[in-house]
Amino acid sequence: MLLELLLERLKAALRVKGNWAVYAAYDPAPFAKREESFLTVGITALETEQAFSDETYWYFPFSAAAQVRLLTTPETDAQVLYDRYWQTVVSGMLSAGCTVQKIRTGAPTEWKQFRKIALEGSFTLSGVFQIAKEEVLAP
């Protein structure tokens, strides 16, 4: 449940900041049917701590690792790729309601089989999920 909530929160924040199509990293949609440029986001690790509550809510402290990949046409200049990533992806992740503790980006890689160039970044996040008690008890 928390994994899905975090993934949806990150996808929503990335959509708002970049106006990009955002897919889960494991989304089976064929690349040929996707937009020319898009993002994929995946949670690579999620750790929760002891939950606590008040009268209305449960609170779940967490830390997580996420990867966000920007894929676009191979003709895209590397500087443009980095600028797009930092202006949209990093700002989107910073606005997702989590504390970003670490950001690491790599070098662009070419995905010849999909005719795409990709820039991937890893994010270390932490935060607290607040979930209404009736949502936790719902089937």
- CATH classification at residue 42: 3.30.2000
Q: Looking at this protein, which amino acid is placed at residue 99?
A: T
Whether the pLDDT of residue 106 is over 60: the answer is yes
Distance CA 89, CA 69 (A): 9
Q: Looking at this protein, which amino acid is placed at residue 59?
A: Y
Whether the pLDDT of residue 99 is over 70: the answer is yes
Opening angle at CA 128, ends 46 and 131, nearest 5: 100
H-state helical runs in the chain: 2-18, 78-84, 91-94, 133-137
- Summarised one tens digit per residue, pLDDT across range 114-125 is 899 999 999 999
Number of folded domains that form the chain: 1
- pLDDT of res. 136: 61
- pLDDT of res. 138: 55
- Summarised one tens digit per residue, pLDDT across range 18-56 is 888 999 999 998 888 899 999 999 999 999 999 999 999
- pLDDT of res. 51: 92
Expressed as residue numbers, the domain containing 46 is 2-137
Q: Flag whether the pTM goes above 0.85.
A: yes
Arithmetic mean of pLDDT, 77-83: 92
- Summarised one tens digit per residue, pLDDT across range 46-71 is 999 999 999 999 999 999 999 999 99
Whether the pLDDT of residue 139 is over 90: the answer is no
